[in-house]
Amino acid sequence: MNMDLYRRFDIPVDRVNTECIKWDNREALGNKDALPMWVADMDFRTADGIIDALASRVQHGIFGYAQDASLDKAACALWMKNRHNCEVKPEWLIYSPGVVDSIYHVLSAVCKPGSRVVIQPPVYGPFSAMCNKAKMQIVENPLIETENGFEIDFNGMEECFKAGADAFVFCSPHNPVGRIWKAEELQNVVELCNRYGVQMISDEIHCDFELRGQKHIPLIAIPGGENAVVLISATKTFNLAALRHSTIICPNEEIRNKVIASMSEAMTDVNLFGRLATRAAYQTGGEWLDALNEYLTDGRDILAEGINSIDGLRVHAPEGTYLMWVNAKALGMNSDQLNNFFVEKCAVIPVIGTAFGAQGEGFVRLNFATAHKNLEIALERIEKAVRAL
Ligand SMILES: Cc1ncc(COP(=O)(O)O)c(C=O)c1O
């Protein structure tokens, strides 16, 4: 691992007044001096190879209609092979402006209004929002919390499928609980979906955040998973969310043609800079990502240990993502009270747990993709505020 790259994550970058949703919205969210630990972007500069690729294109000075280069899809396929040991053919790839957009477009392409779609709350809020937008019927199969962390309720899943389900929107790795699902769990998902003819849509936007010792497996790399549609994006991995670019991996030609037809009707072209940044990321970003994963692992340890030492708060250390799902039920507050407590008394802005479904009552989600120094400040503030209760 490149220690020089690792140390760079320690240097705070001032994001204030950069039209940044995370830092420039603090006053509107209730405390202009709070540490923002809410929306899922990182307080880190992206990899140099990406900045150089964008800068050199900017220097050309002409930004007329562009055409895709075959290099782009080849770079993504090679990334999937090298990073995730997953065979992907360039022709399986479809671009979309964002993974949330892709969930909507894939659902619209493969289901009909009224189709039953299974999700596993607590889960990233736009899953249900996109199901609603596409006029799907949501079927919830909540995760189960055990002593060791969150697990999939496979009995519940089978019950949902038996009752009739058309699609399953999977979050792998899981936001907000931070699980990287194991091979056996993924195999069970695939077997159940195939047995009951349920279309798998796997949001794998967090796939590249593999905290130390962890390995993500794409659903299409699981035997029987070739009919899954997998959604990824370099914008999450490399902190490029505002560039609006993502990739749909769809090995099955029939499903792919449906998705392409539906998307071309909706006019979902991507932006030149998003595409160039994604290509540069996949071609040159590996070393930066290795250092990032080490830095995030150390940040995860600082935050999880600190939170678990505070009476009334508890976390299962996440295996992936840079998000921590904090159980604050013992504080005995409802959602509004808990949010106000964090924002006003702790001066830390979280995402309130109920944004991930009713199962999130009593939880907050904290984003630890920031300098370790900020995590220590956050812990001090939270500890002091909890003690004063
Ligand atoms: C699970 C998950 N899917 C999708 C997204 C958003 O993706 P995009 O910005 O590409 O729409 C996020 C962002 O946090 C996420 O956590």
Element containing residue 116 per DSSP (H, E): strand 116-119
Atom of ligand 1 nearest to the CA of 41: 14
Atom of ligand 1 nearest to the CA of 246: 10
- Residues at CB less than 6 angstroms from ligand 1: 40, 98-100, 124, 171, 175, 203, 205, 233, 235, 241, 246
Cα–ligand 1 centroid distance for 205 (angstroms)? 6
Of the pLDDT bands very low, low, confident and very high (cuts 50, 70, 90), residue 68 is confident
Atom of ligand 1 nearest to the CA of 235: 10
Within this chain, do residues 66 and 166 fall inside the same structural domain, yes or no? yes
Cα–ligand 1 centroid distance for 337 (angstroms)? 27
Cα–ligand 1 centroid distance for 99 (angstroms)? 6
pLDDT exceeds cutoff 90 at 267: no
Task: Name the E strands within 246-362.
Answer: 246-249, 323-327, 348-349, 351-352
Cα–ligand 1 centroid distance for 123 (angstroms)? 11
Range of the domain at 159: 61-284
**Residue-wise pLDDT tens digits, 16-48:** 999 999 999 999 999 999 999 999 999 999 999
Cα–ligand 1 centroid distance for 383 (angstroms)? 30
Q: Where are the alpha helices (DSSP H) in 285-321?
A: 286-308
pLDDT exceeds cutoff 90 at 188: yes
User: Does 331 fall in a domain?
Assistant: yes
How many domains are contained in the chain? 2
**For the residues of 201-248, what is the DSSP string, one character each?**
EEE-TTTT-B-TT-----GGGSTTGGG-EEEE-HHHHTT-GGG--EEE
Cα–ligand 1 centroid distance for 174 (angstroms)? 11
Within this chain, do residues 71 and 164 fall inside the same structural domain, yes or no? yes
Q: pLDDT above 90 covers what percent of the chain?
A: 97
Domain boundary among 266, 284, 302: 284
Residue nearest to atom 9 of ligand 1 (CA): 98
The CATH number of the domain holding residue 118 is 3.40.640.10
Within this chain, do residues 75 and 155 fall inside the same structural domain, yes or no? yes
User: Does 54 fall in a domain?
Assistant: no
Within this chain, do residues 97 and 177 fall inside the same structural domain, yes or no? yes
User: Does 26 fall in a domain?
Assistant: yes
Residue 164 near residue 136, CB atoms below 8 Å = no
Residue nearest to atom 13 of ligand 1 (CA): 40
Atom of ligand 1 nearest to the CA of 98: 10
Cα–ligand 1 centroid distance for 117 (angstroms)? 19
Ligand 1 pocket, mutate which of 21, 38, 99, 324 (most atoms under 8 A from CB)? 99
Cα–ligand 1 centroid distance for 331 (angstroms)? 30
Within this chain, do residues 31 and 81 fall inside the same structural domain, yes or no? no
Atom of ligand 1 nearest to the CA of 39: 14
Lowest-pLDDT range of 223-232, 259-268, 359-368: 259-268
Q: Hey, which residues does 246 pair with through a beta bridge?
A: 96
Within this chain, do residues 213 and 84 fall inside the same structural domain, yes or no? yes
Domain boundary among 219, 251, 284: 284
Question: Rounded to an integer, what distance in angstroms lies between the CA atom of residue 161 and that of residue 167?
Answer: 9
Of the pLDDT bands very low, low, confident and very high (cuts 50, 70, 90), residue 359 is very high
Residue 218 near residue 80, CB atoms below 8 Å = yes
The CATH number of the domain holding residue 16 is 3.90.1150.10
**Residue-wise pLDDT tens digits, 203-257:** 999 999 999 999 999 999 999 999 999 999 999 999 999 999 999 999 999 999 9
